[in-house]
Amino acid sequence: MAFERGHRGNVNNRSMRKLPLSVLLLLPIVCEPAFVPPRPVPPVAALGELLVLTTNSATTRYIDSQSRYAGLEYDLIEMFAQDLGVRVRYLDRQPLNQVLPALRHNAAHLAAAGLAITSERLDDFEFGPAYQMVQPVIAYNTDSPAPRALKDLVGKRIEVVKGSSGVEQLHLLRKRFPKLRWREVPEGDSEGLLSRLSEGKTDLVVTESHSLDVVRNFYPNLARAFPIGDPEPLAWVFPKTGDPLVMNRAREFFLRVINDGTLRQLMERYYGHVQRLNQMDIANFLGRMRSVLPHYRIIFKRAQEPTGIDWRLLAALGFQESHWEPAAVSPTGVRGLMMLTNETADRMGVTDRLDPHQAIRAGARYLMELKETLPARIQEPDRTWLALAAYNIGYGHLEDARRLAQRLGLNPDLWVDVKRTLPLLSRYEYYSTLKHGFCRGGEALVLTENTRNYYDILSRFEEPHVPGFTLFANTEEGDSDVAAATP
């Protein structure tokens, strides 16, 4: 990214380009107002609430698989408002290109919409500390040849979200390639464009690296060709004459969440697993989701009833374990759709591990038992991810990994830290000092991260099960999803 002006008068273009993220985080965010906007929004203290411009997207704010609001921007804003002691009022602006014009007219105290710090935007707005680095990239459909150089973009049908930083990068490229053309689409984010790319309705899409990482799990024929600009810092955006209290408190807030590990924890939650699956993994899963899952969907839903565990998470775990093959057998002797050991099957009352009804019910109960065994202080979603790891290696080995995390100065209650110690359980210098000895902890890491990805995909394509409904199955023709309300 080329900064044409410093953030303050004593910071020039070249020096800003060389600044590392750690320095960008500390950039001051208050400067002299450039103009007097019409009808400015009242200060937070006077209004009693924080007005935030945002968009509805997977990288900002959305409704998750549990019908709750989620997203990196959402979580950060909620924590910031709690610090301020005020409630939040979100002003969703669709498409993205409506966000900054609204902020320019002081419609809100800030914009939290995954917006990059760019040279053009520095002319009109103030920015908070950077919280994430992304890069504008070219996405292509793998059914067609990949572009290999910038000159290959000329003559292609290119789409980009109107108002995104990718538009600025394309304008810079056109100085080198005057015949370069593109279409600016008014969307909230690039997912709609990437869907069109997957369907062959356009040739290429300019998007941000993190957005493509998330969306490619739903479209296995998408891939990254190459970046078209330098890495860009994302930050909250403030109007030039914004509330100085809010801007200064935002700087303090980000310094705190960076130093205490909260930001790292949130980044793990939303992006820590998204690059685990390759194109063949995703294509295979989507294919079996359509052809195989319908035979077992109702059993997974029934297993949710007594355990409270989302049936889609259980199905994701079942796929990771056996690809939904009820007769699966591993070299170590675990068997069935949920890959139960003899010991676990006996404890769960299973008489036939190859019976998918028994296996799925037992797998769900076992996962629930593991979640309940973990210390009460461990919060979601870490509680679920740690329980999934224990499902693979056993609770004792998970405790070893947690103890090792504590020894190494990490947090034993956070998945982002425990997943660093799991692979160490196979190394003598570590496992020889732990209670339960050698373990292939790396396998538990892979199981958990892959299950998270499959769960994300199922949450997108499959409806949640509402408890209190009676599920019926047609024993002649296989399981059915027919549901009727109980009296």
Is the domain of 125 the same as that of 250?
Answer: yes
Of 187, 191, 321, 462, which residue is the catalytic one? Answer: 321
Is the domain of 421 the same as that of 291?
Answer: yes
Is the domain of 265 the same as that of 119?
Answer: yes
* The total number of structural domains that make up the chain: 3
Q: What is the mean pLDDT of residues 71-80?
A: 97
Q: Tokens 């998270």, residue? A: 452
Q: Does residue 6 form part of some domain?
A: no
Q: Does residue 4 form part of some domain?
A: no
Q: How far is Cα 415 from Cα 426, in angstroms, rounded to an integer?
A: 18
Q: How far is Cα 303 from Cα 309, in angstroms, rounded to an integer?
A: 8
Question: What is the band of 332 on the pLDDT scale with cuts at 50, 70, 90?
Answer: confident
Is the domain of 330 the same as that of 217?
Answer: no
Q: Does residue 1 form part of some domain?
A: no
Burial of 390 (0-12, 13-18, 19+ CB in 10 A): buried
In this predicted structure, the answer to whether residue 89 has a pLDDT above a threshold of 70 is yes
Q: Which residues pair with 233 in a beta bridge?
A: 133
Tens-digit pLDDT profile for residues 398-424: 999 999 999 999 999 999 999 999 999
Q: Can you spell out the DSSP letters for 162-220?
A: TTSHHHHHHHHHHHH-TT---EEE--SSSHHHHHHHHTTSSSEEEEEHHHHHHHTTT-T
Is the domain of 304 the same as that of 426?
Answer: yes
Is 462 annotated in the active site? no
Q: Does residue 179 form part of some domain?
A: yes
Is the domain of 205 the same as that of 351?
Answer: no
Look up residue 3 and give its amino acid: F
Q: What is the mean pLDDT of residues 428-433?
A: 94
User: Which pLDDT belongs to residue 469?
Assistant: 59
Task: Dihedral sign for Cα 270, 271, 277, 282, please.
Answer: positive
Is the domain of 90 the same as that of 154?
Answer: no
Is the domain of 70 the same as that of 82?
Answer: yes
Is the domain of 328 the same as that of 249?
Answer: no
Q: Does residue 5 form part of some domain?
A: no
Is the domain of 26 the same as that of 161?
Answer: no
Residue ending a domain, among 271, 301, 336, is 271
Structural domain that includes position 436: 279-485
User: Which pLDDT belongs to residue 38?
Assistant: 53
| Token pair belonging to 389 | 């790891």
Residue ending a domain, among 229, 262, 292, is 229
Kindly report the CATH number assigned to the domain that includes residue 194. 3.40.190.10
Closest CA to 387 of 405, 374, 403, 377: 374
Residue ending a domain, among 229, 257, 288, is 229
Is the domain of 287 the same as that of 262?
Answer: no
In this predicted structure, the answer to whether residue 32 has a pLDDT above a threshold of 50 is no
For residue 220, cis peptide bond before it (omega within 30 degrees of 0):
no
State the DSSP H helix or E strand holding residue 81, giving kind and residue range, or none if neither: helix 72-84
Is the domain of 251 the same as that of 182?
Answer: no
In this predicted structure, the answer to whether residue 199 has a pLDDT above a threshold of 70 is yes
State the DSSP H helix or E strand holding residue 484, giving kind and residue range, or none if neither: strand 483-485
Kindly report the CATH number assigned to the domain that includes residue 399. 1.10.530.10
In this predicted structure, the answer to whether residue 362 has a pLDDT above a threshold of 90 is yes
Higher pLDDT, 67 or 108: 108
Q: Can you spell out the DSSP letters for 104-166?
A: HTT-SSEE-SS-B--HHHHHHEEE----EEE-EEEEEETTSPPP-SGGGGTTS-EEEETTSHH
In this predicted structure, the answer to whether residue 23 has a pLDDT above a threshold of 50 is no
Percentage of the chain beyond pLDDT 70 is: 88
Taking a C-beta distance cutoff of 8 angstroms, is the pair 233, 132 a contact? yes
Q: Does residue 2 form part of some domain?
A: no
Q: Does residue 398 form part of some domain?
A: yes
Q: Tokens 């296996």, residue? A: 359
Q: Does residue 7 form part of some domain?
A: no
SS3 7: coil
User: Which pLDDT belongs to residue 264?
Assistant: 95
Tens-digit pLDDT profile for residues 241-278: 899 999 999 999 999 999 999 999 999 999 999 888 99
